Amino acid sequence: MLLKSRSSLPVSLPERKSSMFTVRRLCSTSHSSVDSKEMKKFQLLAHKWWDEEGEFSALHSMNDIRVPFIRDSLLNMSSDYHLGNPLAGVKILDVGCGGGLLSEPLGRLGASVTGIDPLEDNIRTADQHKSFDPVLAKRIQYKSSSLEEIVEEFMETFDVIVASEVVEHVADLETFIKCCSQVLKPEGSLFITTINKTQLSYVLGIVVAEKILGIVPEGTHEWEKFVPPEELERLLEANGFSVKAVNGMLYNPLSGSWSWMESTSVNYALHAVKSGAQGESSPTDTPSEMEGEQPSATAAP
């Protein structure tokens, strides 16, 4: 079964001695997943994470659907339920945690969260914000690090990995997925949200979201780096994962809210389980909100 670990503390990571973008451990390949051009873009926004009306507002509101998606998918695979703290004892790695927008609600559900991000300034922002809530102090640990750097130390350590709105920014997706597989326990869950590579995602994600509405700064996304779900599924399966769910997500720029939809042609969320897992996909893998009305849509963030 999943969710075996009962430790309430996040995994303790070694002190980082290398420079900001240096990669120490390379997931059995000579490639880094970190793209220095992408790092420069995020560097400029590192103090903006917790501005709910700012550049990351769509990530704030995405929590309304991505947090229940993660929580319910995990609970449906577990016989262990902790009232009030449903994810108590679950060790989660939040890769590309940014300012901790997703780490914090997962920590509040009881999980022990390790958030990593290659950008030191992101981690500084995340650490500072975490300090406002004493409950999170013991549950979340942040570290400025790439995934490659922690692989050797944290082989098969985590019950769950989340990589939300990250894979469209990495330099080498194959290395990234390999590393995810290596730090995840057998039967562990991987949750990814990202943007599909379609004509519609170009129009909504780049033309409308960046150039017309300015929901995210111009240049945030490169269409070439968007990831079709079929490609992601192929990579995951080649690395010992079984894909349990791929659900389309829709952003409504007028209300600033997200809902589920059947089509994965723009944004989507994926749940995969590392081999060894028992059981089939759960009812929550197809969220009930999927039937909701679908107003004018924009790919974000």
Ligand X SMILES: C[S@@+](CC[C@H](N)C(=O)[O-])C[C@H]1O[C@@H](n2cnc3c(N)ncnc32)[C@H](O)[C@@H]1O
Q: Is residue 98 part of the contact set for ligand X (CB under 6 A)?
A: yes
Q: Is residue 123 part of the contact set for ligand X (CB under 6 A)?
A: no
* Spatial separation of the C-alpha atoms in residues 123 and 104, rounded to whole Å: 13
Segment interacting with ligand X, rule: CB under 6 A, options 129-137, 160-168, 260-268, 287-295: 160-168
Tell the smallest beta-carbon distance from residue 84 to ligand X (Å): 24
* Spatial separation of the C-alpha atoms in residues 103 and 32, rounded to whole Å: 24
Contacting ligand X (CB under 6 A), which of 170, 183, 246, 277? 170
> For residue 226, what are its two tokens?
């968007």
Q: Which one-letter amino acid corresponds to residue 176?
A: F
Q: Is residue 167 part of the contact set for ligand X (CB under 6 A)?
A: no
Tell the smallest beta-carbon distance from residue 83 to ligand X (Å): 28
Segment interacting with ligand X, rule: CB under 6 A, options 22-30, 71-79, 164-172, 266-274: 164-172
Q: Is residue 59 part of the contact set for ligand X (CB under 6 A)?
A: yes
Contacting ligand X (CB under 6 A), which of 23, 101, 136, 151? 101
Tell the smallest beta-carbon distance from residue 60 to ligand X (Å): 8
Q: Is residue 96 part of the contact set for ligand X (CB under 6 A)?
A: yes
In DSSP notation, 173-186 reads HHHHHHHHHHHEEE
Chain residues 15-34 in contact with ligand X, contact rule CB under 6 A: 33-34
In the complex with ligand X, the residue whose CB is nearer, 99 or 248, is 99
Q: Is residue 160 part of the contact set for ligand X (CB under 6 A)?
A: no
Tell the smallest beta-carbon distance from residue 190 to ligand X (Å): 14
Burial 60-87 (b: 16+ CB within 10 A, else e): bbbbebbbebbbbbbbebbebeeeeebb
The β-bridge partners of 19 are none
Q: How far apart are the first and last CA of the chain?
A: 34
Site residues (vs ligand X, CB under 6 A): 33-34, 38, 42, 59, 95-98, 101-102, 117-119, 122, 146-147, 164-166, 169-170, 301
